Amino acid sequence: MALPHNLWLPALLGALATLHAYLALDTIPRVAAARGAVAMLWLGFGAAVLAVGVWTTQYLGHAGTSGLGGARAAVAGGIAWASAVLALCQAARGRAWLAGILLGTGLVLATTFDQRLDRPGMASCLACMLLLGAGGAMAALAWRERRPPAPRVWSAAVLLGLTIAALPVAGNALAPDAAMRPPAQVPGAAAFVISALVLLLAAVVQLAQRELARQAAQIRGELESARQALVHQAFHDALTALPNRAKVLAQLQELLPEARRDGQDVAVMFIDLDGFKSINDTLGHEAGDEFLRRVAEALSASVRPRDTVARFGGDEFVVVLERFRNRENLGAICEKILARVGAPVLVAGQKVTATPSIGVAVFPDDGAEPTELLRHADIAMYAAKERGKAGFCFYEPQMIARASERLALSTDLREGLGRDELRVCYQPKVDLRSRRLVGLEALARWAHPTRGHLPPSMFIPLAEDCGLIARLGERVVREVAGQIARWRAEGLPLVPVAINLSMQEIQGVNFVPSLLRTLAEAGLDRHAIEFEITETAAMTDVHTTLRHLRELEALGFRIAIDDFGTGFSSLSHLRQLPARTIKIDQSFVHGADASHHDREITEAIIALARKLRLHTVAEGVESEQQARWLVQAGCDIGQGYLFGRPLPPGETATLLAAGFAGAPIDA
């Protein structure tokens, strides 16, 4: 079937060639992205699509005049394919101009390879065709570039398609009598069908490849976000989203060599919250979590954005400061943290506070390695806790010995509680005028197997820190209850015995049930025991303390505020506390000998207690002179070495039998 030469034929050829060109150009990025055999396959495939396009347009374009059928069509297609392979290969390497020259020359060769070159005008005809072929192909490939957006590929394809379609037409026009060959062997419609089938196949392959590439990109994207999430999880704390220990260690690992090179100091602050456990125990873990989030915010707000704030777990936070002026500057930052983090916050409808204790270690003076710096900051933090909490300490080398001793002692204490090494001594409390025995205070002692009897200051704070205080307190209550029961069985006149409590003990969920059980086992009523809680402890978390103390009061126990004058009681809180007694701290009693000021404070406390109808006990009375002015000031009860030191149960029994400690004041 011969196709008539009219206008729509060139248009049809142009469209056909454009489609072939588009699908061939579309393989260039795949050739560029693939390696080895896959790249070769894409190259062969793209070139074949282009070659079929060239062959079809050549065949149909020449069909009316010369035709390229049979073996010659195959040769033309082969030339087009070979030049397309070379051209696509160069285009994939980004050499668009070279690719254009190769393709253009190939296209002209495929059109003219079977024509006689010795005819007149053929040289200029060939030159014009080369200009058209190479120019068009170069322009198309250069326009397309390597990884271009789709509209650009389409326009490049149109350019290349028109070039391919124009070449046979130009050949016909320039040398109409050039045809020397027999007519086409393949009918025109069949050429269309072949071209359409190749186009269809190429389109299917390209679409399938695109879909695969899209799926692969999606999987890659999902894998990448999963990887990022894992990395984030591994280096961040889930609760506060702050960096974690691993992140800080990695950061210090990078930072310290740089700081060493630049002669810069780096400070590491280890921060632990005092009394956080009680927030968790009383308000629940959700409130505890919320509180920790608020602490994280307050900490971040206390330092500059370039400083690192991290959570190491529990109530432990770390701040890394890269640039600071000097140690005074660090001190000011610690003060800021103390003020911000220690400020009360509203959590679960309650105002709560947990003051921070901060330890500071500075690179390079206090440690050369990240782990060493962190350990030393931690040790300094413990020193801050020992010095009364809610403060900060800079690391000093001698703290190490103290820390390892602490560690050894905490292990000993754990074992000691199991081995029953805890003892209780009793110190008399007397009516200051008559010296009649009105009460006893139970004071814990630790009979350490190698260090001898240790005072409470050496193990009570330790027990609080390592979570042993509840066990220790339970032991003391059991021991005291058992002792009172034994004295009663001996027929001795009894007085109330005061037991010291730490806030952590009262807040323990088992405290009240275990207390009541112990008293019931010993057959004691609730007046046999009083409780003393220090003013500082009572004021740390007023609402919680009030709740617990009111519960104890409702059960019939008497409560005394210990070490009064050393804390920061507000009068309104003092009025709310269900205490019957305040114990004036011994520092005022001792100080009163030398200082008018202390004497006046003591007198004011006694006057205040009277107004609030509270009993007063003066602690640390050591001399008759002190006892006398305390009586004059209106104090009811005294406790101190003047009336007796803390005694073991046997000697206390003698005191109970006598009922007096020392001679009456007006004797």
Residue ranges in contact with ligand C2E by CB under 6 A: 427, 443-444, 455-457, 460, 473, 476, 500-502, 532, 534, 562-563, 586, 619-622, 639-641, 646
What are the tokens at 545? 């303390």
Given a contact cutoff of 8 angstroms between Cβ atoms, the answer to whether 18 and 11 are in contact is: no
Cα dihedral 234/237/239/240 (nearest 10) = -140
Residues near 118 by beta carbon (within 8 Å), at least 6 away in sequence: none
Asked if 207 and 26 touch (Cβ cutoff 8 Å), the reply is: no
Q: Which is nearer to ligand C2E, 298 or 480 (CB)?
A: 480
Beta strands in 274-347 (DSSP E): 308-313, 316-321, 345-347
Nearer to Mg ion (CB atom), residue 290 or residue 562: 562
Q: Which of helix, strand or coil describes residue 56? A: helix
Minimum distance of ligand C2E from residue 383's CB (angstroms): 20
Does position 427 interact with Mg ion (CB under 5 A)? The reply is no
Q: Does 530 bind Mg ion (CB under 5 A)?
A: no
Amino acid of residue 425? C
- The minimum distance between CB 299 and ligand C2E, in angstroms, equals 30
The residues in 586-625 that bind Mg ion, with binding defined as CB under 5 A, are 619
Shortest distance, position 467 Cβ to ligand C2E, whole Å: 14
Measuring CA to CA, how many Å separate 488 from each of 33, 95, 516?
95, 107, 19
CB of 485 to ligand C2E, least distance (A): 18
Q: Considering the complex, what minimum distance in angstroms separates the CB of residue 557 from ligand C2E?
A: 15
Size of the site for Mg ion (CB under 5 A): 5
Question: Are 633 and 576 within 8 A, CB to CB?
Answer: no
How far apart are the C-alpha atoms of 133 and 174, rounded to whole Å?
Answer: 14
| Distance of closest approach, residue 468 Cβ to ligand C2E, in angstroms | 11
563 sits near Mg ion (criterion: CB under 5 A): yes
Closest CB 286 distance from ligand C2E, rounded Å: 29
Backbone angles phi, psi at 321, to 5 degrees: -110, 120
Site for Mg ion in 618-637 (CB under 5 A): 619
Single out the residue of 562, 569, 601, 639 in contact with Mg ion (rule: CB under 5 A): 562
Nearer to Mg ion, 30 or 590 (CB): 590
Dihedral-angle region of residue 394 (phi above 0 means left; psi in -120 to 50 means alpha; beta otherwise): beta
Q: Could you say which of ligand C2E, Mg ion, none residue 83 binds, taking C-beta under 5 to 8 angstroms by partner kind?
A: none
* 364 vs 482, beta carbon nearer ligand C2E: 482
Backbone angles phi, psi at 419, to 5 degrees: -90, 10
Paired sense of beta strands 437-448 and 266-273, if any: unpaired
Tokens for 480, please give them.
Answer: 């005291």
C-beta closer to ligand C2E: residue 126 or 537 = 537
Which listed residue (357, 500, 569, 639) binds Mg ion by CB under 5 A? 500
User: Considering CB distances under 5 to 8 angstroms, the limit depending on partner class, which of Mg ion, ligand C2E, none binds residue 460?
Assistant: ligand C2E
Q: Is 532 in the site for Mg ion (CB under 5 A)?
A: yes
Residue with smaller CB distance to ligand C2E, 378 or 530: 530
Query: Can you list the positions of beta strands (E) in 376-471?
Result: 392-394, 422-431, 437-448, 452-454
CB-based contacts of 113, cutoff 8 Å, min separation 6? 75, 76, 79
Nearer to Mg ion, 272 or 532 (CB): 532
**Nearest to ligand C2E of 29, 646 (CB atom):** 646
CB of 518 to ligand C2E, least distance (A): 14
Nearer to Mg ion by Cβ, of 412 and 562: the residue is 562
| Contact partner at residue 620 from Mg ion, ligand C2E, none, CB < 5 to 8 Å by partner kind | ligand C2E
| Residues 505 to 524 in contact with Mg ion, rule: CB under 5 A | none
574-to-445, 559, 601, 612 alpha-carbon distances in Å: 30, 12, 16, 9
The partner in contact with residue 646, picked from Mg ion, ligand C2E, none with C-beta cut-offs of 5 to 8 angstroms by kind, is ligand C2E
Any bridge partners for residue 236, and if so which? Answer: 243
Crossing angle of helices 122-144 and 150-174, rounded to 10°? 180
Amino acid at 252: L
| Strand 266-273 to 316-321 pairing | antiparallel
- The residue among 83 and 569 lying less far from Mg ion, judged by its C-beta, is 569
Smallest separation (angstroms) from ligand C2E to the CB of 373? 34
Name the site residues for Mg ion (rule: CB under 5 A).
500, 532, 562-563, 619
